[in-house]
Structure 1
């Protein structure tokens, strides 16, 4: 759990999205609830609810401006401004299909960056120059084919 203080209020931010995703995969949901298996949809829904309830807190949850994104047809490009005092040898970049995790930042900190599109984690290029880390990730193609499923009844 992560606790942030915003404007005199304490905000409890759960960092358990992975646990939620695993739990949802194992659930048998009634017809029409398949959307709840999509972690991006759930995260967007929670973010909208937070924005309505606590607008200043929701703004802090969205990000602190560490990374900027751009997209081409086949790639997601991420530019990460590294904080002063980083050591190149200590940096470690971990890539998942929906986010990046940057470890070894000054003060032993780690940063998780949510990606705007799903990517192929093994297809990645990086370049570190003048405190700017550029990451080029290949987008994961969407599967637009239909699969026939047996209907019981």
Structure 2
């Protein structure tokens, strides 16, 4: 059996985090330590969570439905689409919201419509075969 008393003496006294049960360290100190660390982590407030969205897809399209809260002016919003994400700008306090898309899309073939508090974005999937391009190798 390990001599915990000698271990503590080697490190200059009783270790504050190590509780003993029957001469062996209790596992509860790990739980207590982790809980103590978690309590001291500052809570991150993600202002990007001002809006919630749902994504669904068909064979050819990705649809994104975004519930816009009443305090957000819809006419202030701007929607931008890249190959793999959508960015919503114009939210309060100059915030923006990024939505990662489940598929590569054709960003130029996008439409957005606002009706009854819902912003719906329709984007065509890029079903084209991924093209490879030959790259010249120089030999030295």
Q: Is TM more than 0.5 here?
A: yes
Query: Partners of 2:107 and 2:130 in 1: how far apart?
Result: 20
TM-score, structure 2 as length reference: 0.57
Match of 2:74 in 1: 88
Unaligned runs of 5+ in 2: 1-37
Counterpart selection for 2:83 from 84, 97, 101 = 97
CA contact (8 A) 1:67 1:79 kept: yes
Task: Report if the CA contact (8 A) 2:51-2:69 is conserved.
Answer: no
Whichever structure has more helix as a proportion of its residues is 1
| 1:143 lines up with 2:138 in the alignment | no
Structure 1: runs of 5+ lacking an equivalent? 1-5, 13-59
The structure, 1 or 2, with the larger RCO (C-alpha pairs under 8 Å, 6+ apart) is 2
Equivalent residue for 1:9, pick from 24, 28, 41: 41
TM-score relative to the length of structure 1? 0.53
**Kept in 2: contact 1:83–1:105 (CA 8 A):** no
C-alpha displacement of 1:143? 1.6
Could you tell me whether the CA contact under 8 Å between 2:88 and 2:96 is conserved in 1?
yes
- TM-align CA RMSD: 3.1
Larger Rg: 2
Q: For residues 72-98 of structure 1, what are the alpha-carbon distances to aligned partners after superposition, in whole Å with 9 as ceiling and x for unaligned?
A: 110001001113311122110011110
Give the distance between the partners of 2:39 and 2:68, measured in 1 at CA: 26
Q: How many residues align?
A: 99
